[in-house]
């Protein structure tokens, strides 16, 4: 029997449970029951209403839009809800193979809202975000009436927004109706940009706006450049490299043209023109310290990782990827990275080291993805991705040909012409851009004029000027006097003494009163470095050189150490002991005589397009000579082998290296800027002793001396340079020709260039591993008996044999070439040419046509 208290307790519990159930159903949204329709579609039953279930809830804007459309058709598969707002009529598809939901609007009218839902049966749950990406809405616009007016700007914007939800066919129709929507200034804002980490300029049919990862007017992300360089590093085909870089430049030109200059400089790993002498010069230890401090590693750990990997950039990238940060740093922009690198380069003084490290750390912690790799490589001074300057010029020309700059924007000119016609256009653009850059190697001025007026006006607006050094014309070597006659047969040519000195390009600008401005005169090396401080004595004597009527000029000369007491020329080794900077002419300890042999510019007019005969005539008319200080290069116009032979012997007796043989008249006698030309041949006394030319090689390793050479390095591993792969390829082991003083000097010179392990861009055989590895900095001139193919060396590998390189037989040290940078050493292609030029090889192998072509160096 139940007591009253138990009954009360039971009723109370029952009431509480009933209230909980009621509360649950009030607070919990009702889920309609699902059944299958005849066609397999899901149908809901809610108070007698049956309608297909949509996998995605209507957004407020969609509900509002659907309620504003009136139904005018009947459907057997849908029922109208009682006492509720009128529903859209829905037709359920019976096909199980249909694609996900497709909405089709046949006509956009006030009384037409027939909508067909084609939905697959077997659907699994997707998040709204995933379903939104899968749904495709195809909207067919009503055909315009005849005589209709062109769309207004508001209509254009409305249609532009529709581009996000229409299919490709309808999208093309809208683009046509909007009349070149690409020219609308806010188009890039309406088109969804690519994610930065998905940026890919290597894709086919690249669109400079739609495939970019930034919008018009926005700063170019540094990650966009890093992604471009990463693709280039993984590509060996030169034409593909040019295409990738060109696509990136096209986007920069169209969206943010002001960032094109820093993009170019960062691709070349430069901060300014060479004659500004602005370099980063960050020591490896400082970079390792910055990486370690930012990632919680010790300096020893970073060093060990770099030694194993051989690439500090890769180590920095891996360390940054493993680091977790609480707050994300601001994303890097190209303009800010470039400005920071310039700021680091300008830092000097005792406290500059810590300032540089702090600045590097601020950049490094903000790196994403592969940015750290290329940031550190830029700070090192070498990208090492196989991107040469000529490739950058080619890519820029291709970008301008494909997407011409100007008010009438054309995104892809190749679509409007045949392949052959476009190829010819690109070749024309490449020739103009290269020639202009040779005459005016200033990227800021070249890009300014290129973006303003295009290629057509580039040559007239951007030409040679005083103060901007040219890359000099160079000569090809030849082994015998008979080769000279074979090259210049039936042509007028002249022979000049080849002096054993340093190339000097003297610039004298004009003052406002059309008088020469000697105060701002400058002297540049063959590397375009400013050597003005090295030759104060030469500058002080300039007024004695110029005759009346000369207001400005550019002279091509050779500075040679000179013994004034005996009136004799001294070897290059004496000149190399001259200080790199002298306070005044009185501080000079090694006097020089300047031998002038060419005139490139006179009184505001470039002369590089004139014949040598004309340039030489103007030179002798407008300039004086003074024995021991200013002299014209001794020359003689020859026509026979005997004349050339006798003149060569005279040059050798006068302490010269040999002869320079030059075309005198005709188009082939023009001054070819930055080219190693067959119109100039050099015939040195060494050639008659064996190999056709000495080789300028780079020291990449050293071997410790033994016996009497103990305490210094007794031998060296030297390499040539391959600009295409950006590798230093082993050429030979050099151990003869040195005096004790030479070995001591080289050992001292290499101390500051010692590194822990060989660079990843050193190509050598492990059998020649050095005792000590050095950075590629010191260039030496080497003479040899001949050249041979070798399985143990890598110079010019795959050019002559798939698995063998070229090595020097019986190499001998000649001198240190302080006037040359490592990248200006003898190239792999030149080594291959020297091998093929040997008499014993000439008779066996047909010479390739490329061996006789001139090219940029």
Give me the active site residues, please.
498
DSSP 520: G
CB 142 within 8 A of CB 107: yes
C-alpha to C-alpha distance for 217 and 468, rounded to whole angstroms: 32
CA-based R_g, the chain, Å: 37
Other CB atoms within 10 Å distance of the CB of residue 58: 12
Count each helix (H run) and each strand (E run) in the chain, helices first. 28, 30
Give the strand pairing for 762-763 and 675-684.
unpaired
Paired strand residues for 795: 806
C-alpha to C-alpha distance for 4 and 7, rounded to whole angstroms: 5
Other CB atoms within 10 Å distance of the CB of residue 609: 12
3-state SS, 675-715, equals EEEEEEEEEEHHHHHCCCCCEEEEEEEEEECCHHHCCCEEE
CA angle 800, 803, 806 (to 5 degrees): 50
3-state helix, strand, coil in the chain (%, to 5): 40, 20, 40
Give one word for 532, left, alpha or beta, with left for phi > 0 and alpha for psi -120 to 50: alpha
Give the strand pairing for 42-46 and 49-52.
antiparallel
CB 291 within 8 A of CB 376: yes
Tokens of 469: 């050094």
Distances from the Cα of 163 to the Cαs of 144, 178, 194, 217, in angstroms?
18, 11, 16, 22
DSSP 516: B
End-to-end CA distance of the chain: 113
DSSP 590: S
CB 143 within 8 A of CB 172: no
Residue 125: partners with Cβ closer than 8 Å, 6 or more residues away: none
Residue whose token pair is 């023009």: 670
3-state SS, 60-124, equals HHHHHHHHCCCCCCCCCCCCCCCCCCCCCCEEECCCCCCCCCEEEECCCCCCCCCEEECCCCCCC
């Amino acid at each position: 029997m139940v007591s009253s208290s138990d009954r009360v307790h039971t009723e109370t519990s029952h009431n509480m449970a009933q209230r909980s159930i009621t509360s649950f159903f009030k607070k919990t949204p009702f889920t309609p029951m699902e059944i299958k329709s005849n066609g397999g579609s899901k149908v809901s039953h809610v108070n007698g209403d049956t309608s297909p279930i949509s996998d995605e809830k209507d957004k407020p804007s969609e509900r509002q839009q659907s309620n504003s459309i009136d139904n005018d058709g009947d459907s057997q598969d849908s029922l109208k809800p009682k006492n509720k707002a009128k529903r859209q009529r829905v037709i359920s598809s019976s096909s199980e193979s249909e694609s996900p939901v497709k909405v089709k609007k046949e006509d956009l009218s006030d009384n037409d809202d027939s909508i067909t839902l084609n939905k697959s049966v077997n659907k699994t749950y997707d998040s709204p975000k995933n379903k939104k990406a899968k749904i495709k809405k195809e909207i067919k616009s009503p055909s315009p009436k005849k005589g209709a007016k062109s769309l207004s700007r508001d209509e254009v914007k409305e249609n532009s927004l529709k581009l996000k939800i229409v299919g490709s066919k309808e999208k093309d129709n809208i683009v046509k109706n909007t009349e070149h929507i690409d020219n609308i200034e806010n188009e890039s804002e309406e088109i969804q940009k690519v994610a930065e980490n998905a940026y890919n300029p290597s894709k086919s049919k690249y669109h400079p706006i739609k495939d970019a990862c930034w919008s018009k007017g926005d700063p170019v992300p540094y990650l966009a450049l890093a992604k471009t360089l990463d693709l280039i590093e993984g590509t060996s085909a030169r034409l593909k490299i040019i295409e990738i870089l060109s696509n990136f430049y096209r986007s920069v030109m169209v969206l943010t043209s002001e960032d094109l200059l820093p993009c170019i400089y960062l691709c070349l790993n430069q901060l300014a023109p060479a004659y500004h002498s602005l370099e980063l010069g960050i020591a490896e230890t400082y970079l390792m310290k910055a990486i370690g401090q930012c990632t919680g590693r010790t300096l020893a750990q970073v060093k060990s990782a770099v030694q194993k990997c051989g690439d500090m950039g890769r180590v920095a990238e891996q360390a940054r990827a493993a680091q977790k940060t609480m707050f994300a740093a601001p994303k890097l922009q190209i303009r800010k990275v470039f400005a920071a690198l310039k700021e680091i380069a300008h830092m000097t003084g005792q406290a500059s080291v810590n300032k540089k490290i702090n600045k590097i750390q601020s950049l490094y912690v903000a790196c994403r993805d592969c940015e750290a790799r290329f940031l550190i490589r830029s700070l090192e001074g070498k990208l090492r991705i196989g991107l040469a300057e000529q490739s950058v010029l080619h890519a820029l020309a291709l970008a301008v040909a494909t997407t011409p700059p100007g008010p009438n924007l054309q995104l892809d000119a190749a679509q409007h012409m045949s392949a052959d016609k476009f190829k010819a256009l690109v070749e024309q653009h490449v020739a103009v851009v290269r020639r202009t850059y040779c005459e005016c190697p200033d990227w800021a001025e070249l890009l300014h004029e290129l973006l303003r007026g295009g290629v057509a006006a580039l040559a007239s607006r951007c030409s040679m000027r005083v103060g901007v050094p040219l890359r000099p014309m160079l000569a090809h070597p030849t082994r015998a006097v008979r080769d000279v006659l074979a090259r210049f047969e039936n042509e007028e040519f002249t022979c000049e003494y080849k002096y054993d000195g340093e190339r000097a390009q003297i610039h004298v600008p004009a003052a406002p009163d059309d008088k020469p401005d000697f105060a701002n005169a400058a002297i540049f090396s063959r590397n375009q470095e400013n050597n003005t401080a090295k030759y104060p004595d030469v500058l002080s004597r300039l007024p004695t050189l110029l005759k009346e009527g000369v207001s400005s000029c550019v002279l091509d000369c050779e500075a040679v150490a000179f013994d004034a007491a005996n009136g004799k020329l001294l070897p290059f080794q004496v000149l190399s002991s001259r200080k790199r900077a002298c306070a005044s002419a009185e501080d000079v300890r090694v006097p020089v005589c300047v031998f002038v042999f060419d005139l490139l510019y006179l009184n505001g007019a470039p002369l590089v397009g004139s014949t040598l005969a004309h340039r030489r005539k103007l030179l002798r008319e407008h300039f004086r000579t003074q024995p021991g200080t200013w002299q014209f290069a001794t020359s003689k116009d020859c026509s026979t082998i005997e004349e050339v032979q006798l003149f060569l012997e005279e040059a050798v007796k006068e302490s010269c290296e040999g002869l320079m043989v030059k075309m005198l008249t005709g188009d082939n006698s023009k001054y070819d800027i930055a080219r190693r030309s067959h119109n100039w041949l050099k015939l040195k006394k060494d050639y008659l002793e064996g190999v056709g030319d000495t080789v300028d090689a780079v020291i990449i390793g050293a071997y410790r001396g033994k016996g009497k050479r103990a305490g210094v390095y007794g031998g060296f591993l030297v390499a040539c340079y391959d600009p295409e792969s950006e590798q230093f390829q082993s050429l030979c082991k050099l151990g003869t020709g040195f005096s004790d003083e030479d070995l001591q000097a080289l050992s001292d010179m290499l101390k500051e260039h010692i590194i822990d392990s060989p660079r990843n861009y050193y190509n050598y055989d492990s059998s020649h591993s050095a005792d000590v590895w050095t950075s590629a900095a010191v260039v030496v001139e080497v003479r040899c008996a001949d050249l041979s193919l070798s399985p143990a060396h890598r110079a010019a590998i795959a050019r002559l044999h798939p698995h063998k390189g070229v090595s020097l037989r019986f190499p001998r040290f000649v001198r240190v070439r302080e006037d040359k940078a490592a990248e200006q050493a003898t190239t792999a292609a030149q080594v291959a040419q020297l091998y093929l030029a040997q008499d014993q090889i000439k008779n066996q192998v047909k010479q390739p046509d490329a061996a006789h072509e001139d090219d940029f160096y």
